[in-house]
C-alpha cells in the first residue's frame, strides 16, 4: 500500500484546445455554448484509464476526503521549446478528477512544475502525487493533535466548536494563534452533592 503515486501522462491538449464554443439561438438571441472538444474527450478517456491502472497497480491507499489536499509534482517533457506548462494542467487534472480515484475535485490540488525538458521522440508529463503534510491551518497532524487536545478541556468542544471545524477546513481565523485559541473557556467541573 502506498501514499505516493507515480503516473506518466501523454501530452494533454492545452487549455486553448480544451473547450470549444458554438452559437445557438435562444429566444431569438444568439448564445455561445461551451463544449469539450473531441481532442480533450479522447485524452481524458485514455489518461483516465492510465490513472485507474496506476492506482490499482501501485496500491494507492489514501482515502478520498474533501479536506485532504495533494501535491502534484510534474516534470514536463515538451515536444518543442516555447511551450507554457501552465496551459497543460487543467485538462490533465480534470481527467484525474473524472476517475474519482484520488480526489473528488481538483480544488484540493497544489500543482508544482519541478522541471521542463524537451523530448521530441517521447513528449510526456511525469507526475508524482502525494498528500500534503498540512491539515487545515495546522502544519501537520502533530500540531492538529496538540491543538485538539487543548480543545477537549474547553466548554465549546462538546458543542461541535466552529473554530475547530473551520481550522480543520483551512479557514484562517483571528481566534487561533499556532496551537492557542483565544476563545478557550475551561469546562465547568460537575459538583457532586
Burial track 73-99 (b if 16+ CB lie within 10 A, e otherwise):
bbbbbbeeeebeeeebbbbbbbbbbeb
Residue 109 has pLDDT above 90, yes or no: yes
Distance (Å, rounded) from C-alpha 163 to C-alpha 154? 12
Per-residue cell: 73: 509534482
Distance (Å, rounded) from C-alpha 64 to C-alpha 71? 14
Q: 22 with 33: CB under 8 angstroms?
A: yes
Give CA torsion, residues 25, 35, 69, 127, to 10 deg.
-160
pLDDT band at 39 (very low <50, low <70, confident <90, very high): very high
Per-residue cell: 49: 484509464
Residue 143 has pLDDT above 80, yes or no: yes
What dotted CATH number matches 5-12+42-131?
3.30.1330.70
pLDDT band at 9 (very low <50, low <70, confident <90, very high): very high
Write out pLDDT tens, residues 164-187. 989 988 999 999 988 888 989 888
Residue 191 has pLDDT above 80, yes or no: no
Q: Residue 9, Cα to own-chain centre: how many angstroms?
A: 17
Distance (Å, rounded) from C-alpha 91 to C-alpha 18? 7
Domain ranges of the chain: 5-12+42-131, 133-193
Q: Give the pLDDT confidence score for residue 93 in this predicted structure.
A: 97
What pTM did the predictor assign? Answer: 0.82
141 vs 87: which has the higher pLDDT:
87
- Which of 125, 98, 124, 97 has its CA nearest to residue 109? 97
Please, which residues have CB within 8 angstroms of residue 168's CB and are 6 or more apart in sequence? 67, 135, 136, 144
Q: Give the pLDDT confidence score for residue 193 in this predicted structure.
A: 47
Residue 5 has pLDDT above 70, yes or no: yes
Amino acid at each position: 500500500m502506498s501514499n505516493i503515486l507515480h503516473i506518466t501522462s501523454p501530452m494533454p491538449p492545452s487549455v486553448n484546445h480544451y473547450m470549444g464554443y458554438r452559437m445557438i439561438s435562444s429566444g431569438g438571441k444568439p448564445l455561445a455554448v461551451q463544449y469539450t472538444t473531441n481532442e480533450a474527450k479522447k485524452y481524458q478517456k485514455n489518461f483516465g484509464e492510465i490513472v485507474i491502472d496506476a492506482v490499482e497497480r501501485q496500491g494507492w491507499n489514501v482515502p478520498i476526503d474533501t479536506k485532504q489536499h495533494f501535491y502534484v509534482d510534474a516534470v514536463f517533457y515538451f515536444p518543442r521549446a516555447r511551450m507554457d506548462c501552465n496551459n497543460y494542467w487543467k485538462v490533465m487534472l480534470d481527467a484525474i478528477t473524472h476517475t474519482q480515484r484520488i480526489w473528488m475535485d481538483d480544488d484540493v490540488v497544489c500543482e508544482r512544475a519541478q522541471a521542463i525538458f524537451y523530448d521530441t521522440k517521447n513528449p510526456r508529463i511525469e507526475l508524482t502525487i502525494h498528500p500534503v503534510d498540512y491539515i487545515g491551518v495546522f502544519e501537520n497532524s502533530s500540531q492538529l493533535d496538540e491543538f485538539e487536545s487543548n480543545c477537549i478541556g474547553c466548554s465549546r468542544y462538546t458543542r461541535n466548536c466552529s473554530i475547530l471545524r473551520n481550522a480543520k477546513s483551512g479557514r484562517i481565523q483571528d481566534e487561533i494563534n499556532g496551537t492557542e485559541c483565544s476563545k478557550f473557556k475551561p469546562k465547568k467541573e460537575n459538583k457532586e452533592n
